[in-house]
A and B are shown apart, each in its own frame.
Chain A
Amino acid sequence: MRSTAIALSLFFLSSCATGYKASYVTGAVTKEVATESYVPYSEAFNKKIDECCAEGVCNPESPDVITKTQLDKCMGPKFEQSTHEKIEVAVKIYHEAAKAFTEAMKIPDASDEERKAATNALFESALNLLALLPEGDKRVAQLKKLTGR
């Protein structure tokens, strides 16, 4: 009877630890993939601004200054302000989800369901962000593969 109780306790502890570990791995991998995926986009985005503003055409004092519409056209649908703002919103949502996830992971007696819910919210927000970046489908597939989801 005693050994059965010990075995059950060990099994329970092991299950909780495995749930915690799985959530942690999802959180860590998600952060890595999201951060790495943003780098090439950011480089291309800044390069595009440099190209569109070459020879001082974005200087309001310049006689050759371009208009907002001309800049939007030059930036193209991939990098124009409205597109970047969607990415910014997605990153903010993911950042908030990561804060909530961290709080859930800090609670020592949090249930597996609570942790799972926070992990799912984090994962979904990261998928939404990755889908907005160039090669979004590839990034989404990569995250799903790495996290086993």
Chain B
Amino acid sequence: MSAAALTTLITSIITGIAKVSKVTREALAQSLESMAKDVRSGGLIPDALLANVESDGDRLRDVRGGLPD
């Protein structure tokens, strides 16, 4: 491979990486806002899961609690 071809190849790779980074940065900047909003509203706290497991536990405790030993 000639020096000119090698230079062109390296330049293309650098340009490609720069373009991808720009797109990634833009996408990241866009989605970060919605992520932060979700975090602020408690969207990552498993409240429904906790409610379900407690409700199931209460059902068994109620049933079992009424039974003789």
- A106 contact set on B, CB distance < 8 A: 39-40
- B47 contact set on A, CB distance < 8 A: 95
Which residues in chain B, 12-54, are within 8 Å of chain A measured between CB atoms? Answer: 21, 25, 28-29, 31-32, 35-36, 38-40, 42-50, 52-54
Is there contact, CB below 8 Å, between B69 and A21? no
Q: Summarize B's interface: helix, strand, loop or mixed.
A: helix
Nearest Cβ on chain A to B55's Cβ, whole angstroms:
9
Chain B residues proximal to chain A, CB less than 8 Å: 21, 25, 28-29, 31-32, 35-36, 38-40, 42-50, 52-54, 56-57, 59-61, 63-64, 66-69
For A98, give its contact among B46, B61, B69 (CB under 8 Å): B46
Nearest Cβ on chain B to A101's Cβ, whole angstroms:
7
8 cross-chain pairs, A with B, having the tightest CB-CB distances, nearest first: A27-B44, A91-B53, A105-B39, A24-B35, A98-B45, A60-B66, A95-B50, A35-B49
- B32 contact set on A, CB distance < 8 A: 17, 20-21
Report the bound CA distance from A58 to B40 in whole Å.
Answer: 45
The tally of residues in A whose CB lies under 8 Å from a CB in B reads 45
Asked if A2 CB lies within 8 Å of chain B CBs, one says no
Chain A residues proximal to chain B, CB less than 8 Å: 10, 14, 17-18, 20-21, 24, 27-28, 31, 34-35, 38, 42, 45-46, 49, 53, 58-60, 65-72, 75, 81, 84-85, 87-88, 91-92, 94-95, 98-99, 101-102, 105-106
